[in-house]
Each structure stands twice: as structure tokens, then as C-alpha cells.
Amino acid sequence: MTEPNDDDLPPLVYNDEVQFFTEYLSSLYARNLTGSSRVWCPRWREHREVHVRVKALWTSWEVMHSDPVGMSVWLRDHLDPHMAILLSPDNAMSGCRAPSRSLPEGQHDPDVKPLPHEYPVE
């Protein structure tokens, strides 16, 4: 079996995940965030998990958008699960709107720490 080369792949619609987000995803998944428990940081690219998830949405969209049932599958299997996590109250951006830390709503909080991990004792 031969590996596909770049000539076999259709051209990209969006150059990268940022263009995909700004020109497509942000308006497709528009939500009113005011007064809700949903959290989104305008500096989402600085949150590693968020960036990885948006990039995964972009790459999967590029593969699936032209398939006759691809968009339905993409919505169900990719977009909705990722966005449910990304807009949840305790997502990777939740510190950017944390009243208990006296940050004004929408202020970016870069002080999110990785999940703790300990190596097992042998």
C-alpha cells in the first residue's frame, strides 16, 4: 500500500486553526456568555488544552467537510463533545473569569497549573 502524498489531498479551506476559529468556528458556535456559567477566554490560544482541541476540530473539519454525511458526523462526534468541554464552567480557561480570585470578567489568567502527578514508589 502506498502512502498518500500532498498531491492526493484536497487543498485546505483554512490555513490553520486560528483562521478556522476566526472565520468559521466562532460564529458557527456563537453563544451568549454574559451571565452564564460558560467560560471562554479571548486569548484561548495561550491555553494549551484549548489550542489542541481547536486544532483537532480544524483538522477533522478539513477532512470531513466535503463528505456527504461528514458534516453530520463532525458535528456529532467532534464539535459537540469538544465544545461541551471547552465551554464548561471548569474548563482550562475557567481561571480567566474567576470572581473568587477578584479577576474582572474576561481578564486572562495565565496561572493555571498542570494536573499534579507523582511517580509510583517502587
Which residue, chain included where needed, has cell 480567566? 96
Read off the pTM: 0.77
95 against 8, higher pLDDT = 95
Range(s) of the domain holding residue 88: 44-99
Q: Virtual CA dihedral for 14, 20, 22, 24, nearest 10 degrees?
A: 100
- Domain membership of residue 92 (yes or no) is yes
Task: Tell me the pLDDT band of 100, cut-offs 50, 70 and 90.
Answer: very low
- Domain membership of residue 9 (yes or no) is no
CA distance readout (Å), 11 to 3, 6, 8, 15:
17, 9, 9, 10
Q: What is the pLDDT of residue 3?
A: 57
Is the pLDDT at 20 greater than 90? The verdict is yes
Number of domains composing the chain? 1
Is the pLDDT at 90 greater than 90? The verdict is no
- Domain membership of residue 119 (yes or no) is no
